Amino acid sequence: MTSLPGSIWREGAVGATSNLRFMSLELVESDVLQRTIDEALRRGGEFAEVFVEDRRTSSAMLDQRRVEELTSGRDRGAGIRVVVGETTGFAHTADLSEKGLRDAATAAASVAREGGGGVREVALGALRRFPSSAAIEPGDVDKARKIELLLHADDVARSEGSSITQVQVALGDSTRRFIVANSEGVFASDHQVRTRFNVACVATGDSGMQTGYRPVAATRGFELLNPAVVEAAARGAARQAITKLEARPAPSGDLPVVLASGSGGILFHEACGHGLEADAIMKQASVYAGKVGQQVASPLVTLVDDGTVAGEWGYLAIDDEGHESSRNVLIENGVLTDYMWDYLRSRKEGRHVSANGRRQSYQYLPMVRMTNTYLLEGDSDADEIVAQTPYGVYVAQLGGGQVNTATGDFVFGMTAAFLIENGRITAPLRDCNLIGNGPEILRRVDAVAKDFSMMPGTCGKDGQQVPVGCGQATMRLSAITIGGAAA
């Protein structure tokens, strides 16, 4: 087994090319932004916004100890949004000159309203800056050192046993800096650094092949990936795959299910989170529309969307519309209290903006999106919840899923699950599905522990991908349909 060089983890261990100069430069001068907004308003806009972004990314992937991917890239540009009444015009450009921005503003305004009348000028105040807290910029770490990290993770995973026949390790990072300015006086910038790492393993035995997977991701710099974190991910993925070699078919039907801490957060993200986004509510495309103040879940359920949780994958200092991140209680003790709002929808409905306006990049319009969405912990003991379940399924890890926001119906894959027999976790189960309805499942939460944790994820909506966090403590659903194969 190779050793992991300590020099990778020292704060001063950077490559020859530093990003410090890149991070210190202004993307666009404030007077240029002001004139761009003024141009959009002169063209008939009632609301105008300029979003300027500079993003650097890098990724590396090791597959069977071969470097299959080693890439880096940079993308910068601006998206300009102009609103007239109910119509939104949008244009984006990679040309950050004043002429390029002015042309994009003219194009966006022409979509929102051809021609125009009257003049409205905007005076931008002082820029509000939100610096990154990253101790080590990932882009400053030499690529050779990143490959050493991948090789070390491969060694650790294979050391778990000869049944590990395939290992894939991936590392990625992004440094994103953006400025938002609009005709309502917003003028703010953010510097976001995210680092991710994951290990996937295949174990081969008499029963065939089984897989294991462990992700690590945070809104932090390269300091995230210390040796203990890297080795825990590698061992976890390998052990999961090896354990599943002994898996039996999962039972079918309605059974009690215990969701391990952190593992079930994605279920609630999909099953009810999307249905609480204001765009679905205003289209009457959500089962939760018109239900504020009503009991929609078990009294044990308090659901929060919170972009202020520092370091988590969905952390934001400001959203992509320039509003400071906030903690928003959506369901409190089972009662629906509010929805998630972006700026335009909150303005239309006379609601307080909840800083949930997000976009994949400058090439996209912002829309209502989750940040870190989680259920608050309870006061039960996790082991006691299992002990008080005579028969059921313990879900250690959920995979992907899908939901119909209009009905709340969902399907989720279970990638690591075990049988519960006589209050004990026993045999591992083969991959199978959880099938249910969001509002109904919320009512079936009958125990919540105090061992809260979170997991990273990527949320897709209308063709846009954004990083999100999901979390919950160990909890039990009194019954949910399991699509297994056992008789």
Report pLDDT digits (tens) over 357-413.
999 999 999 999 999 999 999 999 999 999 999 999 999 999 878 888 889 899 999
pLDDT of residue 192 exceeding 60: yes
Q: Provide the pLDDT confidence category of residue 23 given band limits of 50, 70 and 90.
A: very low
In one letter, which amino acid is 311?
Answer: G
Domain boundaries along the sequence of the chain: 17-246, 253-483
pTM for the whole thing?
A: 0.90
Q: What is the pLDDT of residue 19?
A: 36
Cα 325 to Cα 53, 310, 313: the distances in Å are: 18, 11, 14
Q: What is the pLDDT of residue 149?
A: 97
pLDDT of residue 8 exceeding 70: no
Question: 3-class DSSP state for residue 41?
Answer: helix
Q: What is the pLDDT of residue 4?
A: 31
Q: Are 5 and 148 in contact (CB under 8 A)?
A: yes
Please state, rounded to an integer, the average pLDDT across all residues of the chain. 90
Phi/psi zone of residue 63: left (φ > 0), alpha (ψ -120 to 50 degrees), beta? beta
Q: What is the pLDDT of residue 422?
A: 98
Q: Provide the pLDDT confidence category of residue 16 given band limits of 50, 70 and 90.
A: very low
Cα 16 to Cα 12, 61, 83, 142: the distances in Å are: 12, 22, 45, 8
Provide the pairing of β-strand 357-358 with 208-218: unpaired
Quote the percentage of the chain above a pLDDT of 70.
Answer: 92
Strand partners, 41: none
Rounded Cα distance between 427 and 417, Å, is 9
The two tokens of residue 77 are 């540009």
Helix axes 30-42, 98-112, angle to 10 degrees: 30
Rounded Cα distance between 212 and 163, Å, is 12
Q: Check residues 16 and 160 and name the one with the higher pLDDT.
A: 160
Place of tokens 């020292």: 10
Quote the percentage of the chain above a pLDDT of 90.
Answer: 83
Q: Provide the pLDDT confidence category of residue 111 given band limits of 50, 70 and 90.
A: confident
Segment 21-46 mean pLDDT: 80
Q: What is the pLDDT of residue 402?
A: 82
Q: Provide the pLDDT confidence category of residue 25 given band limits of 50, 70 and 90.
A: very low
Q: What is the pLDDT of residue 403?
A: 84
Q: pLDDT (tens digit, 9 = 90+) per residue, 419-463? A: 999 999 999 999 999 999 999 999 999 999 999 999 999 999 999
Q: What is the pLDDT of residue 124?
A: 67
Q: Are 356 and 320 in contact (CB under 8 A)?
A: no
Q: What is the pLDDT of residue 24?
A: 32
How many residues are there in the chain?
Answer: 487
Q: What is the pLDDT of residue 114?
A: 55
Segment 11-32 mean pLDDT: 50
In one letter, which amino acid is 238?
Answer: A
pLDDT of residue 294 exceeding 60: yes
Q: Provide the pLDDT confidence category of residue 123 given band limits of 50, 70 and 90.
A: low
Q: Provide the pLDDT confidence category of residue 162 given band limits of 50, 70 and 90.
A: very high
For 17-246, CATH number out of 3.90.1150.10, 3.30.2290.10, 3.40.50.2300, 1.10.3210.50 equals 3.30.2290.10
